Amino acid sequence: MKPAPKHQRLVLVILAVAALIGAALLAMWGLSDRAAYFRTPQDIAAGRAQVGEPIRLGGMVKQGSIVRQPDGVSIAFVVTDGPADVPVRYRGIVPDLFKEGGGVVAEGRLERGNTFVADTILAKHDERYMPPQMGNIQAERQTRKTVAQ
């Protein structure tokens, strides 16, 4: 099992190449069915999404569409981008910024009948370039009052 001295580097090089190819194959195998495509309701209406594949659905929560289920932790709502609507079901605690008329990204899968079942809900409401300062003491007082009530 002793390689001839001249072949030492060659063996290592071959090992490195094999590892690289292995990594590439592994990555390709993993990405082929695990990368989630970003879709809009229009994409889904146009049939650009398959049942069961992982999807990130982006759009707005349609006004008046949020329906809370009797168990207290499940909701149904409609994501819209104007021309098209997609009904969504979700079981879990929604983020605080999730509200009707607000932007939303839902991660999950499409079921038969084009209902979307979300595993994760992300509310899109970046305030990064507008952090309203807390010198806005009025807003703070209101918050306190609301909480105290």
Partner 1 sequence: MIAEAGLAALWLAAALALLQLGAAIAGPRVGDVRAVAVPTAVAQGVLTLFAFAMLIWLFVRTDLSVELVAANSHSMKPFIYRFSGAWGNHEGSMLLWVTVLAVAGAGLALVERRLPPETMRATLGAQAALALGFFGFLLIASNPFARLYPAPAEGQGLNPLLQDPGLAFHPPTLYLGYVGLSVAFSLAVGALITREVGPALARAMRPWVLGAWVLLTLGITAGSYWAYYELGWGGWWFWDPVENASLMPWLAATALLHSVNVLAARGGLRSWTIMLAVVAFSMSMVGTFLVRSGILTSVHSFAVDPERGSFILGLLVLYVGGALALFAARVGTVREGARFELVSREGALVANNLLLTVLLGVVFVGTLYPIFVEAATGDKISVGPPYFNAVSGPITLVLALLLFIGPLLNWRRDRRPNLRRIALPLVVTVLALAATFLADMSLLARLGLAFAAGLAVASLLPLAGRNLRRTPLATWGMVISHLGVAVALAGAASDTAFTRETLAAARPGEVLSVGPWSVRLAGVDPVAGPNWTAVEGHLVATRGGTTIRLDPQSRTFSDPPTETSEAAIRTLFDGQLYTVLGHREGERWQLRLWWKPFVTLIWLGGALIALGGALALVGRWWRGRRQRRSEEAFA
Partner 2 sequence: MTRKLLLALPLLVFVLFVGAALWRLADPPSSTVASKLVGKPVPPFALKPALPTKPGFGAADLAGGQPRLVNLFASWCVPCIAEAPVLAELKARGVAIDGIAIRDTAPDITRFLSEQGDGYARIGADPNGQAQIALGASGVPESFIVDGRGIIRYHHIGAVMPQDVPEVMAEWEKVR
125 is in an annotated binding site: yes
- 16 interacts with partner 1 by CB under 8 A: yes
* Residue 95 CA to its chain's centroid (Å): 13
d(CA 24, CA 63): 46
Residue carrying structure tokens 């194959």: 25
102 binds, among partner 2, partner 1, none (CB under 5 to 8 A by kind): partner 2
113 binds, among partner 2, partner 1, none (CB under 5 to 8 A by kind): none
**Of 102, 137, 134, residue with least CA distance to 121:** 102
**Of 119, 115, 91, residue with least CA distance to 105:** 119
90 is in an annotated binding site: no
Binding range to partner 2, per CB under 8 A, among 10-18, 25-33, 65-73, 112-120: 10-18
Main-chain dihedrals φ then ψ at residue 91, nearest 5 degrees:
-120, 115
d(CA 79, CA 124): 13
Q: Residue ranges for the binding site?
A: 125, 129
Binding residues for partner 1, rule: CB under 8 A, are 1-3, 5, 8-9, 11-12, 15-16, 19-20, 22-24, 26-27, 29-31, 34-38, 54, 56, 68, 71-73, 91-94, 96-97, 105, 107, 122, 124, 126-136, 139-140, 143-144, 147-148
